[in-house]
Chain A
């Protein structure tokens, strides 16, 4: 998952970024509205955390601009004042949820997960695809009720694929949503992760959960139990 953090206070910015990284997110951050808008436009992401009181361009303006451009990126706004006027204006401008500063990081993470899940069309807190169950809050993956040991990167790949179950996900999209820096990106490594995931999730090769579409990418073929 890739998140964009736009927050002008360096300490809070760092805290959010650190926490998101701990949770396995690839994170881009900006400390003003203009740079933030640039990041949102340039880097396909899964969620944006936007402070309302930003220098150069307010958070509201950033949200209005990207919504006017047709973006459906889930947005969580942060407000210091906590007045309902700010919350209503933010939500009215196109944000999807709000958090009043100061907030518990647990709450922030819970809300971010809900936003990502909702945007992908999932209503339940854990993702069910056939016998595979993924719990984003604990970052655990179960196969027929048994926990499967995955590395951080393997988890990120399966989480993204399950989140977008049934959709074709290209290698480049996967790398963008997995890595922080462009320098780290190597699409060959993705193939390694996919192979390992196939071995771990389908040791008997009966499920065939991940389909390879030559030249286009991968698709999770198991039927997703989305009820939203």
Chain B
């Protein structure tokens, strides 16, 4: 931000200085022009007929500009007739070219190169009568060295640049201080967002200036509404789960019982009941997957892996299966805890179900990512079965008996969070699932 301000400030200042320099240059040249013009009139006042009465000359005694008499003063005046120079001021030791393209009675101011440098030139073409009243054409030309002008202009520029530099430094300093003070509330917001993310706080409650207050108040409202909505949503889904699954459980209980139904009827009833249950389970799982919830609290993947594996070791205590965990992961991932548990639980549970006696779970932290692999020593899946898992639609009437909804739910969740999931054959002989999680940044 300070860098942007610096660029804008410097650009603005440089443009201002250019404009100023141009204006001052114009003004100085105008002043030179005026000065030379009045000198021209002064010299004209000193013009008179010469002794022959046929031509004219300038009477030095009637000229007041002393520089015209100081040798090498840089201010020279020349009078020409048709043939050539007829008078020059005593300050000039060298000749200057006559202006050739002057119209009658034209007065012209210009900058001209002569004798290796630039001069201001004021030229005037005049008609003057001789004793016979015949008008002849003369040319009065004043040359003035630009040395003074250049020197003055340089001095002015130097002073201007110096003050410009001082102003920029001062302004930057002030801006930095203002920004430091002005951005303090934003820094505070950043700190509070972090606290809210880590569930240390529920809302923004620091003392903010009146300009920022509407923002934090709105954010508080948004947070509150979001938390409230999410809670309501989950409660509603829980209620729905209960109200749908309980009657399903009762129906299944009935279908399990010996009754007057024929075996075939009972089997049909059980099948339909199972199907309804799968659909309800899958849709509910899908609905509670949070994915893009505002300010998802980063969760520790390593800790959740431990928790899930401990729970599964308990469940599979009766089966001779060893669940090995190789993990050095300390980083967190930004995911809803319940969604992450759903992914870990389903995948490791599948590995335990299909593995013979070994399940290997490995978590490897690379720079910005965590690679999690779950493999088993079961029969594994053939290429076409893998293909089926990856491409199969989520329609539950397509799932096969025994497949359950676990994998479909996992695919749904990793899809929402955009977590890459890969299926391979494990070196242990069974299936190997690889998930690549992005490490959550710990600072805002």
Contact = CB atoms under 8 A, between A and B. Distances in A.
Contacts of A82: 241, 281, 284-285
Contact of A114 (B253, B308, B318, B342): B318
A156 to B, nearest CB: 22
A211 interface: no
B401 to A, nearest CB: 13
B427 interface: no
Interface band, chain B = 35 or more
Nearest to B247: A11
A88 B277 CA distance: 21
A96 B312 CA distance: 10
Contact of A118 (B270, B288, B318, B346): B318
A98 B342 CA distance: 15
A12 B318 contact: no
B338 A83 contact: yes
Contacts of A91: 310-311, 314-315
Contacts of A87: 311, 345
Interface string B336-371: 011001101110010000000000000000000000
Contacts, number: 93
Interface band, chain A = 20 to 34
B252 A104 contact: yes
Given A102-B277, A105-B256, A123-B318, A92 B245 contact: no
Interface in B131-174: none
Interface of B: 238, 241-242, 245-246, 248-254, 256-257, 270, 273, 277, 281, 284-285, 288, 307-308, 310-311, 314-315, 317-318, 337-338, 341-342, 344-346, 349
16 contacts: A9-B249, A11-B249, A15-B253, A53-B238, A80-B241, A82-B285, A84-B338, A84-B342, A85-B342, A91-B311, A92-B310, A92-B311, A101-B246, A102-B252, A102-B273, A106-B256
Interface of A: 9, 11-12, 15, 19, 53, 80-85, 87-88, 91-92, 96-98, 100-106, 114, 118, 123
* 4 nearest A-B residue pairs (beta carbon): A84-B345, A102-B249, A15-B253, A91-B311
